[in-house]
């Protein structure tokens, strides 16, 4: 390969030891603005010139171009290496001219493409899963199996992400070696590095000030400090993300929580297995500013799946949706229905499609109220719950029929 001369400051100091990291499983996590993605993009460029073939993955293919693809192309330009690579926007590949090694890009939502992807020379030596918390455990296991075949290079699977909840499979799979008071941990096969904005000398003062000014406690912990989301008062820990089968009309339920300006409209399509006490959440819609006409058009593809359970607090909207062809009906009301519905949901196994990112966020953040001493009260905070409400509505007939799914929130102190 050509001799490369790189300036000593081309990556942040904290990442330099990891340019030659040989662990099979590599975890780079922490806060926003910590430079994780920029470092890994830079390392991919250098690795490719050394003969490594890397598959770069995100959950949804269309998000790759605005993230990893752009970062890697910026890294090539920043290092002055444009003449060393052939870039194909059509098939999303970047090839080293000196050895034919490649960087390949694919989304987990394109399963068939992943199965057929192979570099033009040699075998895959590396997989980088960007925003790995979006991905299901089963996807990780399948990708791990792709790292096989003869190669002079050690195989590596790298995960980068902002942490969300300790209930996530990544935490359960890898973090038994982690100590919260240290930024790095390793075993024979796993390395974990935590970084924050303080590790990134390329940030501007305005960037740092914005992160330090974050007021939301959850976002401050996760995106400013890079900590796993606080779970002490989190209501739901009985959930995980998996790749799910396509929904089948007649076997599904649907729930809708109205919103418009300040609050989003939340819709869920799901399936419930009563005997197994298992809920499969297959699709979500989470959007502000939808008029009832626009909402009816968004819901029209689900007409064959059956009726939609809606928040009975908006009878006018329900009536209008029905005139527009949506089979909408109001849920029943009853005392303590919110709390009862939540307790019922906590007894179920909830499995989300990886595409249900907003429901994932709600389940990660939905917390009990606290008293003056910080002790949890048996009442939820009335926030981060639009899709959780839709979930309760959809399962109205499975929760004790004496209870409803919306309640007088003032009477509950919510």
pLDDT digits (tens, 9 = 90+) for 256-275: 999 988 889 999 999 999 99
Residue 58: both structure tokens together: 């995100």
70 and 140 belong to one structural domain: yes
**How many domains is the chain built from?**
2
Provide the domain limits for residue 29. 13-224
pLDDT at 411 over 50: no
pLDDT at 332 over 90: no
Whether residue 407 is contained in a domain is answered as no
pLDDT at 217 over 90: no
38 and 77 belong to one structural domain: yes
pLDDT band for 10, please (50, 70, 90 cuts). confident
Instruction: Give me the residues paired with residue 278 across strands.
Output: 273, 349
| Average pLDDT score over the chain | 88
- Exposed, middle or buried: residue 212 (CB in 10 Å: 0-12, 13-18, 19+)? exposed
From 224, 252, 275, the end of a domain falls on 224
Domain of 137, CATH number, reads 3.40.50.300
The structure tokens 């460029």 sit at: 45
188 and 43 belong to one structural domain: yes
Question: What are the angstrom distances between the C-alpha of 83 and each of 4, 97, 100?
Answer: 13, 8, 14
Question: What are the angstrom distances between the C-alpha of 401 and each of 286, 330, 405?
Answer: 27, 14, 10
Whether residue 409 is contained in a domain is answered as no
From 192, 224, 256, the end of a domain falls on 224
Whether residue 162 is contained in a domain is answered as yes
211 and 332 belong to one structural domain: no
Contact assessment for residue 211 and residue 32, using Cβ atoms and an 8 Å cutoff: yes
Q: What is the pLDDT of residues 39-81, one digit of tens each?
A: 999 999 999 999 999 999 998 888 888 899 999 999 999 999 9
Conformation bin of residue 159: beta by default, left when phi > 0, alpha when psi is -120 to 50: beta
Q: What is the pLDDT of residues 88-104, one digit of tens each?
A: 999 899 999 999 999 99
125 and 176 belong to one structural domain: yes
Residue 328: both structure tokens together: 């909408």
pLDDT at 33 over 90: yes
Whether residue 245 is contained in a domain is answered as yes
pLDDT at 179 over 90: no
346 and 204 belong to one structural domain: no
252 and 389 belong to one structural domain: yes
Q: What is the pLDDT of residue 248?
A: 80
243 and 151 belong to one structural domain: no
Contact assessment for residue 348 and residue 278, using Cβ atoms and an 8 Å cutoff: yes
Q: What is the pLDDT of residue 157?
A: 98
207 and 252 belong to one structural domain: no
pLDDT at 403 over 70: no
**Considering only 231-240, 274-283, 304-313, 388-397, which range has the smallest mean pLDDT?**
231-240
69 and 185 belong to one structural domain: yes
Q: What is the pLDDT of residue 404?
A: 40
pLDDT at 1 over 50: no
Whether residue 296 is contained in a domain is answered as yes
134 and 90 belong to one structural domain: yes
Whether residue 294 is contained in a domain is answered as yes
Whether residue 54 is contained in a domain is answered as yes
pLDDT at 232 over 80: no
Q: What is the pLDDT of residue 132?
A: 95
pLDDT at 402 over 80: no
Tell how far CA 401 is from the center of its chain: 34
- Greatest mean pLDDT among 225-234, 300-309, 332-341: 300-309
Q: Give the predicted TM-score (pTM) of the model.
A: 0.64
Per residue, what are the HEC states of 256-314? Answer: EECCCCCCCEEEEEEEEECCCCEEEEEEEEEECCCCHHHHHHHHHHHHHHCCEEECCCC
pLDDT at 31 over 90: yes
Domain of 247, CATH number, reads 3.30.420.280
pLDDT at 87 over 90: yes
What's the rounded Cα separation, in Å, for the pair 258 and 388?
Answer: 12
Residue 130: both structure tokens together: 């960007």
From 224, 252, 278, the end of a domain falls on 224
Average pLDDT over residues 167-171: 85
Q: What is the pLDDT of residue 382?
A: 84
Residue 44: both structure tokens together: 């991919």
With a pLDDT cut of 90, the percent of the chain lying above it is 64
Whether residue 308 is contained in a domain is answered as yes
What's the rounded Cα separation, in Å, for the pair 350 and 278?
Answer: 6
Average pLDDT over residues 11-32: 96
Q: What is the pLDDT of residues 190-207, one digit of tens each?
A: 999 999 999 999 999 999
211 and 247 belong to one structural domain: no
């Amino acid at each position: 390969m050509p001799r490369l001369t790189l300036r000593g400051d081309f990556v942040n100091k904290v990442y330099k030891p990891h340019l030659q990291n040989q662990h099979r499983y590599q975890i780079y996590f922490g806060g926003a603005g910590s430079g994780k993605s920029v470092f890994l993009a830079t390392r991919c460029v250098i690795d490719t010139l050394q003969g490594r073939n890397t598959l770069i993955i995100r959950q949804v293919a269309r998000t790759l171009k605005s993230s990893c693809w752009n970062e890697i192309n910026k890294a090539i330009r920043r290092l002055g290496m444009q003449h060393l690579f052939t870039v194909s926007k059509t098939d999303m590949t970047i090839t080293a001219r000196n050895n034919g090694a490649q960087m390949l890009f694919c989304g987990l939502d394109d399963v068939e493409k992943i199965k057929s992807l192979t570099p033009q020379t040699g075998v895959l030596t590396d997989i980088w899963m960007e925003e790995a918390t979006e991905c299901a455990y089963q996807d990780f296991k399948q990708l791990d199996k792709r790292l096989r075949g003869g190669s002079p290079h050690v195989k590596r699977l790298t995960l980068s992400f902002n942490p969300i909840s300790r209930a996530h499979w990544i935490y359960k799979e890898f973090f038994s070696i982690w100590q919260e008071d240290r930024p790095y941990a390793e075993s024979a096969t796993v390395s974990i590095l935590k970084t924050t904005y303080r590790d990134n000398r390329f940030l501007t003062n305005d960037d740092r000030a914005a992160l330090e000014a974050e007021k939301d406690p959850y976002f401050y912990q996760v995106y400013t400090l890079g900590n796993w989301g606080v779970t002490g008062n989190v209501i739901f820990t009985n959930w995980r993300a998996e790749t799910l089968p396509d929904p089948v009309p007649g076997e599904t339920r649907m729930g809708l929580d109205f919103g418009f300006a300040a609050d989003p409209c939340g819709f869920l399509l799901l399936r419930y297995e009563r005997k197994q006490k298992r809920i499969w959440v297959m699709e979500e819609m989470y959007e502000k500013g939808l008029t009832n006409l626009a909402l009816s058009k968004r819901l029209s593809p689900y007409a064959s799946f059956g009726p939609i359970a809606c928040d009975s607090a908006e009878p006018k909207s329900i009536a209008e949706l029905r005139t527009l062809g949506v089979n909408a009906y109001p849920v029943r009301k009853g005392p303590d229905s919110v709390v009862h519905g939540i307790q019922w949901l906590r007894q179920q196994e909830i499995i989300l499609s990886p595409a249900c990112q907003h429901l994932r966020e709600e389940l990660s953040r939905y917390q009990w109220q606290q008293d003056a001493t910080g002790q949890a009260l048996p009442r939820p905070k009335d926030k981060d719950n639009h899709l959780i409400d839709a979930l309760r509505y959809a399962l109205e007939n499975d929760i004790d029929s004496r209870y409803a799914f919306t309640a007088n929130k003032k009477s509950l102190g919510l």
